Structures are given as structure tokens and as C-alpha cells.
Amino acid sequence: MPHSGGNNIVETFMESNLLQAEWVLWFLLVLFVACIIVMLVKFAWFGINKVRAGKLQARVGELLADGNVDTFRKDVEDLEGTEAWVLRHALRYTESGTDVVETQMDVAMVSRKARMERGIVFLGTVGANAPFVGLFGTVLGVIKAFRDMSLESEAGAAAVMAGISEALVATAVGLMVAIPAVVAYNYLSRQVKSVMSNSGSLNEQVLLRLRSPDAPSA
């Protein structure tokens, strides 16, 4: 009886739509479209942020050239970008001392890093798992091919070869999804590190000015 029950479960699975590899291909296609959208959004965001960081860098240079700290703080309020946001947040604590300002810079950088990594983690997850999803589809296709061979004895060899060739498409699609996702993940991760490094450098320059004994204020 247990053996018969086991066969019933196998037969039920063999006859279900889960054995069809098509749904795996559709799932991979959805992941591919989602990855493309995330890539385009992130590439555009980092490109825009780079331009904004250049404007902030010029303003920090003016501050170091004997500029006014209060004026700089007001100017930063009108600037956009991650680096400007970190400085804008931290400079609100100038009256509490430079140590507090430095601490707030660190807090703000951690917060912005987490926001920048949104979507990038998704790319890394897809890149790591899409090949396995494709392999899963291939396994399902191979199972179906051998089942077709058992049901069609006259053209058994042809049926299994055709089924296996179709099943391998799932593996190919999985790799097609994974490779761009991994490349984009590595590139965008370097961009996050670059933004954080640039933000840290600008923070140090501003702190140097704040700690200067002759730092002018309004």
C-alpha cells in the first residue's frame, strides 16, 4: 500500500502543470525585465549623483579657501545628492561641537548607503540564483522528455532528444539572466563604494575647516 501511494504521488506530479518548463521560462523572463529596470534606474541615479557631487566639491573648495561656514551651511541646503545630504544633516549640529558633527556624518553615511544598496542586492540575488532556476527548468524538461519516451515507444529516441534540447533552453535563459545581473551588481557595488569614499573625503575637508581656530561664522 505505501508503494502504491508513492506511485500515486509521482503520477499526480507527472501529470501536473508543474512538470512543464514553460512556467520557469516565464519566471526567468519576469526576473530579466525586473533586472533591466533596476539597472536603468540605478545607472541614471549614480550618473546624476556624480554631477551633483561635482557641484558640492566646488562649493567645499570655496569653503576651504577661507569661506564662511554659516554661508556654506545655507548653500548646502539648496544642493542635492547623497554627499550634500550627509553634510546638510551633519551641519545642523555645528552648535554641539565638531565631535557631534562627525558622529552625525557617520550616521548619515550609513543611512544613505543602505538606501543606495536597495535594488543592488536584488541584482546580486538574481545573479546568484537564476542559473539554478534555469537548471530546475531543465530538470523538469528532462523528466517530461523521458516520460514522453515511455509513452511513445515508436519515436522514443526522437522524442527524448527533442525534449532534452527544449529543456536546455531553460538553463541558457537562466545564464542569460544571471550574467548581466552579476556584472551590474559588481559595477553598482563599486559605485556605492565610490560615493561613500567621496562623501567621506568631503566630510573630512569640512571637518578640517570647522576645527580651524579661525573658522569664520556669521
Largest Cα span, the chain = 94
* Assigned domain for 171 exists: yes
Q: Is 36 a member of any domain?
A: yes
Count the domains in the chain.
Answer: 1
Q: Which three cell numbers stand for residue 8?
A: 500515486
Q: Is residue 2 part of a domain?
A: no
Q: Give the per-residue pLDDT at 163.
A: 66
The DSSP letter of residue 19 is G
Among the ranges given (10-14, 184-188, 196-200), the one the predictor scored with the smallest mean pLDDT? 10-14
Whole-model pTM: value is 0.80
Q: Note down the domain range covering 69.
A: 11-209
DSSP state letters, 122-141 = HHHHHHHHHHHHHHHHHHHH
Flag whether 6 is in a domain.
Answer: no
Q: Is residue 19 part of a domain?
A: yes
Mean predicted lDDT score pLDDT of the chain: 83
**Exposed, middle or buried: residue 78 (CB in 10 Å: 0-12, 13-18, 19+)?**
exposed
Query: 133 lies in a domain?
Result: yes
Q: Give dist(CA 97, CA 102) in Å, integer.
A: 9
With respect to residue 141, please indicate whether it lies within any of the assigned structural domains.
yes
* Lowest-pLDDT choice from 101-110, 129-138, 207-216: 207-216
Q: Dump pLDDT digits (tens) for 76-96.
A: 888 898 999 999 888 888 888
pLDDT, one tens digit per residue, over 148-196 is 666 665 555 666 666 677 778 888 999 999 999 999 999 999 999 999 9
Q: How confident is the model at residue 18 (pLDDT cuts 50, 70, 90)?
A: low
Cβ-Cβ contacts under 8 Å for 56 (sequence gap 6 or more): 76, 79, 81, 83, 84, 87, 202
